[in-house]
Structure 1
Amino acid sequence: MKNNEIDNTIIYLSKNLFYNIFMELDSWSLINITGIDRKEYLNNQFTIDMNVISKHQYKVGAHCNINGKVWTSFFIFKYYDCYLYIIRSSVYKKHIYELKKYSLFSKIDISKEINFVIFGLLGPDSLLIIERFFLKKFNKNQSLIISKKTIILKINKPINRFLIIIHKSELFSFLKFIKQHAIYRDSKQWLGLDIESYFPIIDNEISGRFILQSLGLKEWNAIDFNKGCYYGQEILCKYENKKINQFIVCSLIGENCLYNLKISENIDYFDNQTGNVYHVGIILAWVPIFDKKILLQIRMKKRFFKYKNIFFLSSDPDIKFRIFEC
């Protein structure tokens, strides 16, 4: 896919996006769940109540191990006679392996969906673009629209934007239309917006390491404490009842550098008063942004979340960051 005569590798903060853009979200995968036991089975595995998913709303949820540590997060919704959900591509094999472990006696089929392509769309006219092409309108109670073989999810953080999941049979006409109304950009632009939104990016290096609440997923209503049993429930409920979560997901910003940042790399803080250096968090994701800056997503200890604090990489104290203010 070609760009529209601009450098599509330049990533902007949401406040600097003044035109319509679209991108293929090649770092995300679509999972398909079919079979008559699909709802019951997923309800016993996922952290959300599958019974409250409606045809007009998607849900953010998570799949955890027995210790309440998150394999993956996802956006899930009904699609005709199945459930579809979107997860990070780097974890889909691990997720499917873990999800299938207990399916021997259930009538359910779990697979990666290969007949759809996932796009992101945003910009001042993005809603109008959707209405013109799909001849559908969102009302105030909708976050999901299904139009024949296309699914559209509305996300309002940090700005209004849309996930468009389109069947390959309709791809040609969609691309012909969208290229006339929006500029193609690199998929890291969407990642940058997820980082601004504090939506936790759970790639392979992070999968299975951290409790749900410590990844900020409670703020996305990705857990139901009142439904029936599911994997990790006992630990997650104890964690919640004892109010022992000491972590948040936040964003840091700093000057760009030639250093190749790594997911799960440590972020430190130097206390001028005590002279101590503290490990305050780890990197979940990062993107280079315009102009010569870098945006990090961090799982950080809450007590260090102060806008005046300056942070640095454990491996290179000369690379400094501060908390990003939206």
Structure 2
Amino acid sequence: MQAPVFPAEPTQFPLTDLALVRLTGEERAKYLQGQVTCDVNALAPGQSTLGGHCDAKGKLWGDFRLYCLQESLLLQTRASLLARQLPELKKFAVFARVDIQPCDWTSLAIAGTGTDAWIATEFGLSDTGLTPSGMAARVAPDRWLLVSEQDPALALPQASQDLWWALDIAAGIPHLEAAHQGEYIPQMINLQALGGISFTKGCYMGQETVARAKYRGASNRALFVLAGEASATVASGDTLERQLGEHWRRSGLVLNAWQQDGQVWLTAVLPKDTEADALFRLKQEEGSRLHLQPLPYALDD
């Protein structure tokens, strides 16, 4: 199956599907530490991590990337999540010296052969770190995210953000949409395998459920990457069916999808014990066929 084509040179992708929330105030780290799955207190300025924001039952309001700046924290997530997630994030802020507001900083991605060298020349960074107007986070070889207070006006060719999201899909990186809020615990989208959960940081919203899933094996679903053929438009929330003998049975929901020339790559939450040779189709297109692809990281509890 043809994978998304990696750019042949450093290319910028304006990430207009993302939103940024800025936390300021002297208790910003302390407050966020009690709300999310990642260890906020462990971050120094110039460091970044993935994380999840759960309700009291451990179900996700959203996943995010967190950037630690000198005077603030930036939480980057899908814009579609904010209507429900932001009020929940701010719910207890009145009791702490913290201010939580959406901000209009720029979110960009850069990917392509030679991007690591380009970043080193442009910003003097070999790994995630501060830039003059924000931060740059290295998510994989030759793949970077940038957040900037001003538009950096980079002298690079520009491409659609769809290809960036396709590269994330192939890498098994999840992005919840509004349709999935309140459906999954963090382990169901593999946040533990991506460094987005700390099991030693102490209490936070939903922590009891997340810990139970690790230590008692309470999570029986996980994120998988699938690829195949489909002509109909595939969207987040579409139903996947798995072949069992002569029949097809509902198996899970599409998380993120990318399509081109009749080919589709997608992520989906499926039963954790799904066999590697399992065959899937989209419920709305009986002629579609999808196969599991290897995850580029180890999957554990």
Report the residue type matching 2:63 in the other structure.
S
Cross-structure match for 2:122: 133
Q: Indicate the residue corresponding to 2:52 in structure 1.
A: 62
User: What is aligned with 2:132?
Assistant: 148
Mapped contact 1:266–1:314 kept (Cα < 8 A): yes
TM superposition shift of 1:16: 4.5
Q: 1:112 aligns with which of 102, 111, 126?
A: 102
Percentage of matched positions with identical amino acids? 21
Could you tell me how far 1:96 is from its partner in structure 2?
1.1
The amino acid across from 2:155 in the alignment is I
Match of 1:248 in 2: 222
* Contact 1:309 1:322 (C-alpha < 8 Å) held by counterparts: yes
Q: Does 1:271 align with 2:244?
A: yes
Of stretches 294-303 and 24-33 in structure 1, the one that deviates more from structure 2 is 294-303
Aligned mates of 1:78, 1:219 — CA distance in 2: 21
Deviations 1:253-296 (Å, cap 9, x if unpaired)?
Answer: 12241x23232121111222xx443222110011113x431111
Match of 1:51? 41
User: For each residue in 1:137-187, what CA deviation from the matched residue of structure 2 results, as whole angstroms up to 9, or x when unmatched?
Assistant: 31xxx4x2212213111011xx5301111222xx3xx42x423xxx21100
CA RMSD of aligned residues (A): 1.8
Q: Equivalent residues in 2 for 1:1-326 (5 A)?
A: 13-14=3-4, 16-114=6-104, 116-134=105-123, 136-138=124-126, 142=127, 144-156=128-140, 159-168=141-150, 171=151, 174-175=152-153, 177-179=154-156, 183-257=157-231, 259-272=232-245, 275-289=246-260, 291-306=261-276, 308-325=277-294
Larger Rg computed on CA atoms: 1
Q: Which amino acid aligns with 2:163?
A: Q
Q: Secondary structure at the match of 1:304?
A: coil
* Paired residues of 1:280 and 1:304 also in contact (CA < 8 A): no
SS of equivalent to 1:185: coil
The structural deviation recorded for 1:74 is 1.2
Length-normalised TM-score, structure 2: 0.91
Give the match for residue 299 of structure 2.
none
> Which residue identity does 2:201 align to in structure 1?
K
Give the Cα separation in 1 of the matches to 2:86 and 2:236: 22
Q: Which runs of 5+ in 2 are unaligned?
A: 297-301
How many angstroms does 1:303 deviate by?
A: 2.3
Preserved CA contact (<8 Å) 1:33 1:83: yes
> What TM-score, normalized to structure 1?
0.85
Amino acid at match of 1:64: C
Q: How many residues align?
A: 294
